[in-house]
Amino acid sequence: MKNLLTPIKIGSIELRNRVIMAPLTRSRSNREGIPNDLMRVYYEQRASAGLIISEATNISSMGVGYIYTPGIWTQEQIEGWKPITQAVHSKGGRMFLQLWHTGRSSHPDFHKGEPTVSASAINSGGLVNTYDGLKDKEAPRALSLSEIEDTINDYVKAAENAIEAGFDGVEIHGANGYLIDQFICSGSNVRDDMYGGSIENRCRFGLEVVAAVCKAIGNDRTAIRLSPSGTFNGMSDETPVETFSYMVDKLNDHNLAYLHIMEPYAPPGKTYVPQDSYLKDREVTQHFRKVYRGNLMTNSGFTVEEANDYISNQTADMVAFGKLMISNPDLVERIQISTKLNEWDVKTFYSGGEKGYIDYPFLNQ
């Protein structure tokens, strides 16, 4: 019977186990988005995971929306990532880079005063943590057709840069209210052109990004993450089950390395409140297992026991862990011997520095 410790093949890559490190923003980069040696230590510590998915990484300067987050659009950023991928590979690990454009979930301060961009000029509300402190989000500017084409090219170039930096593949961030999600959902997309209106049109941008990235680096090195019941960052959709069922069904055409589906998510310290039309917690993966024919990864608050059940029952093929992987760099080894797990410290998730980042104890400590 399959479990978290059973090997699996994604695309052309063999993973030692199905314990996946979820993409986790930790805000340890510098202002220029260049990865550093502290990040190398952090990822190298967790290389026993079957696959590490990097923290969300900006594909362009316009994609930036959070302080001290890394990028993949400059040569300096590429060079900064190389020691990290080399360190993970030296320990026998595998690593994908998550491609990120925050869209309207940003602030003009990150773009020299220029408005943020999105599918439509709809303000999501809420606050953004800028280098000058918390500020209210502002209404974005709707991308033109030519800018949409340019943004797709940004995803492609970022994917090619990731391969140059030594990553085994990329995961396109289509979840959590960021740019691709903003196009998919009716609450953030009121366009009247080929990228708005019908479900087919609203999914077009995300599917074109997937197709373009697959063409550039190979479908076997391409994945995508979706949050079909997500309301984070002010997201809503009139028919979420129908919308995301269409999107996921179309992803079957691309023979991706995997599809990463999120169960409902709430940021640290907040509670998820489901909308009536949304699939509830622990219903999402079960629904899309019936729609998607390839490798399916799930994520959001799974215990080790629950994850093993999902894999043994074939509800999911892999489970991504976030907080457990933060606090247990040797999570795989702890699962192997069924021992206790370290507790995480929410206060250090985005605090910068070594504390709560590379100082969680290993079993032998």
The predicted-structure confidence for 159-188, as pLDDT tens digits, reads as follows 999 999 999 999 999 999 999 999 999 999
Catalytic positions, written as ranges: 178
Q: What does DSSP assign to residue 279?
A: P
Nearest to 321 by CA among 57, 20, 86: 20
- What whole-number distance in Å separates Cα of residue 188 and Cα of residue 169? 29
Q: Is residue 295 part of a domain?
A: yes
CA dist 185 → 121, 175, 289 (Å): 14, 11, 21
| HSE toward the beta carbon, residue 146, CA cutoff 13 A | 0
Q: Is residue 183 part of a domain?
A: yes
Q: Is residue 282 part of a domain?
A: yes
| Beta strand extents in 6-140 (DSSP E only) | 8-10, 13-15, 19-21, 51-58, 95-100, 117-118, 127-130, 133-136
Per-residue tokens: 101? 């454009």
Q: Reduced to 3 states, what is the DSSP secondary structure of residue 353? A: coil
pLDDT, residue 267, reads 64
Residue with tokens 């959902």: 185
Query: Beta strands 127-130 and 133-136: pairing type?
Result: antiparallel
The predicted-structure confidence for 96-129, as pLDDT tens digits, reads as follows 999 999 999 999 999 999 999 999 999 999 999 9
Q: Is residue 356 part of a domain?
A: no
Q: Taking each helix axis as running N to C, give the angle between helix 75-90 and helix 37-45, from 0 to 180 degrees, rounded to the nearest 10.
A: 30
Q: Is residue 364 part of a domain?
A: no
The predicted-structure confidence for 4-26, as pLDDT tens digits, reads as follows 999 999 999 999 999 999 999 99
Residue 288 zone, left/alpha/beta (φ > 0; ψ -120 to 50; rest): alpha
Q: For the domain that residue 228 is a member of, what is the CATH number?
A: 3.20.20.70
Which DSSP helix (H) or strand (E) runs through 56?
Answer: strand 51-58
Q: Supply the pTM of this predicted model.
A: 0.97
Q: Which residues pair with 53 in a beta bridge?
A: 96
Parent domain of 290: 8-24+32-322
Total number of domains constituting the chain: 1
Burial (CB count within 10 angstroms: exposed 0-12, middle 13-18, buried 19+), residue 138:
middle
Q: Is residue 348 part of a domain?
A: no
Tell me the percentage of the chain whose pLDDT exceeds 90.
Answer: 95
Q: What average pLDDT score do residues 209-236 get?
A: 97
Nearest to 362 by CA among 323, 324, 328, 322: 328
Q: Is residue 123 part of a domain?
A: yes
Per-residue tokens: 67? 């302080």
- What whole-number distance in Å separates Cα of residue 224 and Cα of residue 18? 17
- Dihedrals φ, ψ of 71, to 5°? -125, 175
pLDDT, residue 104, reads 98
Q: Is residue 354 part of a domain?
A: no
pLDDT, residue 270, reads 67
